[in-house]
Amino acid sequence: MLVDILKKRFPSNGNSKRFQELSKDIADLSRWFTQKKGLEPQSDYMGQKKFRDAYTLYYLPPNFLKAVYLLEKAEGLCGGQWLDKKEFSILDAGCGPGTAGIAAAFFLHAKKRGEKFKLRIVSVDRSPEILKENTQLAKDVSNALKKESPGFEVDHQTLRLGILEGTSGLALEFDAVFFSNVLAEMGPPEKERDLKIIRFAQKALAPTGLAFFLEPAQRIHARTLLYLRDAFAGEKRFSILSPCPPVLKCPALGRSEKDWCHDDIHWERPDYIARIDRLAGLRKESLKFTHLIVSKEAHGIIKTGAEDRFVVVSELMAEKGKVSAFLCGNDGRFRFELLRKDESESNGAFLSLKRGENISLQGFSGEGETRRLNKNSVVLALDE
């Protein structure tokens, strides 16, 4: 439905000159995002129509899906209670075309189908031009969703605001605050900046609210997010929900500058994005990103007994006679292996671990960097 809305807003034939120009603008934007080359430093690319269009068409759909993935993850971690209401409010900070607000609209529409439900979205950005685009898109989305489910209402407002300037002008206590792909544009990580972001989240969130951070899967941005994660972990009033156990210090920051953490999810590229990829020399075959979810209080969150809770932070690696994966837990990040001869019913779930999955694992031994499961180890997948 979102792709149809975008195609209607940006009609263009895949072979047209306009489509080729758009692909070139997307290639320029991509070079800027990944190498900081091609545009002026501190460039307000959203102020230029060609880059607004490029962003909305090419980056909105994948970022939308990443945001939906995180909302689903949060729902699983909060045991559904977080959504158990008739009204929900979201603040989309650094909204661009409105990615996270639109994701929340589709996500909640699917959850509350047939019910009377009100979603309040407040979209904040420093660029007034992208806020206008956002208003139009939010209207298109809300009309399309209302057509399918007449009781589903979206109340959308925009506010021009720099995130580091504070929360003045923001009236609501939000159930969710999203910072999606905006940290990368807010200068180098430093204590003071992280503190401002924490204060912003603290003021903007309702007592049971969640803050979501989503950043590109590049080492520098992922590590920036991990530093922010540790800053949140040090705050009494916040709990780390995802992607890792609630330990005080992330083990990836202590060992080597090369360590970092990311998610990788499958998606079916819309045809027009596959065509842009071919023309622009890009590849968006899977969705890679890094994320952080924090809660203002531990409301109804499944505490799994931190000792046995792990997060899968690598792919599953099959070698001769054994299968292994890196897991992050209370004591840090270790390589866990299961010898084929030790496979059993209770540890069988180890064989289908996926990156980003939360698991409970009991019964293993080892020292140094490697831990080994045995026939009696118990592995349980915690995500639904």
Where does this chain bind ligand SAM (CB under 6 A)?
Answer: 46, 59-60, 63, 94-96, 99, 125-127, 130, 162-164, 180-182, 185-186
To ligand SAM, the closest distance from the beta carbon of 64 in angstroms equals 8
Q: Where are the alpha helices (DSSP H) in 190-326?
A: 191-204, 219-233, 251-255, 271-280
What would the two tokens of residue 319 be?
């070698």
> Cβ closer to ligand SAM: 89 or 347?
89
Burial (0-12, 13-18, 19+ Cβ within 10 Å), 184: middle
Residue 292's closest CA among 228, 360, 381?
A: 228
Q: Which position has the token pair 């009204």?
A: 87
One-letter amino acid for residue 18 of the chain: R
- Closest to ligand SAM by CB, 162 vs 169, is 162
Least distance in angstroms from the C-beta of 179 to ligand SAM: 8
CB of 203 to ligand SAM, least distance (A): 15
Q: How many CA atoms lie within 13 A of 232 on its CB side?
A: 30
Q: How far is the CB of 60 from ligand SAM (least distance, A)?
A: 6
Smallest distance, Å, CB 183 to ligand SAM? 9
Nearer to ligand SAM, 158 or 180 (CB): 180
Which of residues 91 and 327 has its CB atom nearest to ligand SAM in the complex?
91
- Cβ proximity to ligand SAM: between 140 and 185 the closer is 185
Q: Which residue is nearest to ligand SAM (CB)?
A: 96
Q: Which residues pair with 381 in a beta bridge?
A: 359
Q: How far apart are CA 334 and CA 262, in angstroms?
A: 16
How far, CA to CA in Å, does 381 sit from each of 87, 128, 224, 311, 354?
31, 44, 29, 10, 10
What's 149's DSSP letter? -
The Cα angle at residue 100 between residues 44 and 327, in degrees rounded to 5 = 105
- Judge whether 100 and 174 are in contact, CB under 8 Å: no
Which CB, 111 or 196, lies closer to ligand SAM? 196
Smallest gap from residue 127 Cβ to ligand SAM (A): 4
Q: Which is nearer to ligand SAM, 59 or 88 (CB)?
A: 59
Nearer to ligand SAM, 55 or 326 (CB): 55
How many beta carbons lie within 10 A of that of residue 113, not counting itself? 13
What count of Cα atoms within 13 Å lies in the side-chain half-sphere of residue 117?
Answer: 23
C-beta separation of 158 from 123 below 8 A: yes
Cis peptide before 41 (omega within 30 of 0): no
| Cβ distance to ligand SAM smaller for residue 45 or 326 | 45
Give the shortest CB-141-to-ligand SAM separation in angstroms.
14
Shortest distance, position 2 Cβ to ligand SAM, whole Å: 13
Read off the amino acid at residue 157: Q
Strand (E) or helix (H) holding 215: strand 205-216
CB of 356 to ligand SAM, least distance (A): 19
Nearer to ligand SAM, 79 or 162 (CB): 162
N-to-C CA span, the chain: 25
The pairing of strands 317-319 and 322-329 is: antiparallel
Token pair of 272, please? 């027009």
In angstroms, give the least distance from the CB of 96 to ligand SAM: 2
